[in-house]
Amino acid sequence: MKEKTKTYEKKLYANRLVPDGKAVYVVSGEESLRNRKRSAPPELSELANRLPVKTLLFARPAEPYSTIIEYLAANEAYAVFPDDSETRTFLVDLPVTDHFSADALAGPLSERKCLIIRGHGLSATGKTGPADAYVNFSAACFACFVKFFSDFLEDAHRHRITADQKKAFEQVLKNLSPAPAFTGGLTAAPVDTPEKARAAIIEAGKRIVALGLVDACFGNISRRMDNTLYISKTGSFLDDLKGDIAACPMDDPQCTGQRPSSEYPAHLAIYRSMDVMGILHGHPLFSVIMSMDCRIDCDHRGDCHRACPHERYIRDIPIVSGETGGGPFGLYKTVPGVIKEGNGAIVYGHGVFTATKTDFNEALARMVEIEQTCREEYFERLKHLGV
């Protein structure tokens, strides 16, 4: 357990979610003394032993997340309600409390995966272990970032930005990472063996995470070779895919027994609809934020992530609705129809798909370009609105 805790602690620092050395992982069942060596406050040891979890993660997130989360929590009485796909799939909502005590934290954390403690930071549970706690913590940071920027733009449209909101926004901008940039460099060799297909996926996975285009265990990658589709497995971390790639025969829509990514149906449908060799799916922040800035007076408001009938674009990039998986509102029905036209597509409140006819350089370059475009467009819209 100790080894694994270290792995995910390092990921928190590498992905700039927590300042170096500042995360506290508490292992349930361990004596307070042992946990104290991890510099965990005794309240957390007590809490971990009360909850049905294997680990508990606590940290004040790094900037800009810290300012964002404190701002959102200061403006909600009981919980923050983000509206993106990671929240819908994972978190439900983010309860807020003021008291850093086992008693105050136990209730909300028995019902939710992550909790905001005003003035302190975030606590996330890990039912199955430190990886799970890491995913919940990361999803909370992602969700709050998206909500903060989405709300700001929405409030700009409605001319109701407050002085505190503007101040927090300016503070956040000071700590915003630069837009991702990509100049290629991934292996361009043709893929003619299963080993090369897997190696290409592993290499692209590391890069997509390093570029900040996806967080935790979200996103997925596939590479076609003849009639086999190599694809990252469900719940896998894209920066660490060794041993986590399924080899799915394309005539098997279930890819029986191999646990491929839950977006396997969408990948399969894209390969069937166009002549491409690789597909990337990430959750780039401004692409998600901009996909939710819809000014159409839509009857489906509240359900647009699933089934919005309106055709939308950000410049030349199509935006579609749809849910993960093979259900009636699955992305496998909406993405293939537009991805060719836009050389990529954004899914409402969720993320981006790009494809390549050659190697992953092309797909990654397009994803970076889509994210840059959305980021530019975000600040342009604010400027138009006089903010």
Where does this chain bind Zn ion (CB under 5 A)?
298, 300, 304, 308, 351
CA angle 332, 233, 356 (to 5 degrees): 55
Question: b/e string for 241-264 if b means 16 or more Cβ within 10 A?
Answer: beebbbebeeeeeebeebebbbbb
Question: CB of residue 123 vs Zn ion: minimum separation in angstroms?
Answer: 25
β pairing state of 345-347 and 317-320: parallel
Q: Which is nearer to Zn ion, 118 or 300 (CB)?
A: 300
Instruction: Report which residue type is found at 357.
Output: K
Question: CB of residue 322 vs Zn ion: minimum separation in angstroms?
Answer: 11
Q: Which is nearer to Zn ion, 55 or 262 (CB)?
A: 262
Question: CB of residue 135 vs Zn ion: minimum separation in angstroms?
Answer: 13
Q: Which is nearer to Zn ion, 71 or 137 (CB)?
A: 137
Which residues are CB-neighbours of 380 under 8 A, at least 6 positions away? none
Q: Which is nearer to Zn ion, 131 or 308 (CB)?
A: 308
Q: Which is nearer to Zn ion, 19 or 325 (CB)?
A: 325
d(CA 387, CA 384): 8
* 68 and 148 Cβ atoms separated by less than 8 Å: yes
Q: Which is nearer to Zn ion, 123 or 324 (CB)?
A: 324
Question: CB of residue 283 vs Zn ion: minimum separation in angstroms?
Answer: 6
Instruction: Report which residue type is found at 223.
Output: R
* 313 and 339 Cβ atoms separated by less than 8 Å: no
**CA proximity to 203, closest of 215, 217, 189:** 189
Q: Which is nearer to Zn ion, 44 or 347 (CB)?
A: 347
Question: CB of residue 357 vs Zn ion: minimum separation in angstroms?
Answer: 23
Phi then psi for residue 329, to 5 deg, are -105, 25
Q: Which is nearer to Zn ion, 58 or 332 (CB)?
A: 332
Question: CB of residue 109 vs Zn ion: minimum separation in angstroms?
Answer: 25
- Both structure tokens of 95: 């309860």
* 220 and 232 Cβ atoms separated by less than 8 Å: yes
Q: Which is nearer to Zn ion, 114 or 308 (CB)?
A: 308
Instruction: Report which residue type is found at 324.
Output: T
Question: CB of residue 281 vs Zn ion: minimum separation in angstroms?
Answer: 6
Question: CB of residue 47 vs Zn ion: minimum separation in angstroms?
Answer: 31
- Both structure tokens of 285: 């922040």
Question: CB of residue 36 vs Zn ion: minimum separation in angstroms?
Answer: 39
Secondary structure, 3-state, 338-382 = HHHHHCCEEECCCEEEEEECCCHHHHHHHHHHHHHHHHHHHHHHH
Phi then psi for residue 308, to 5 deg, are -95, 125
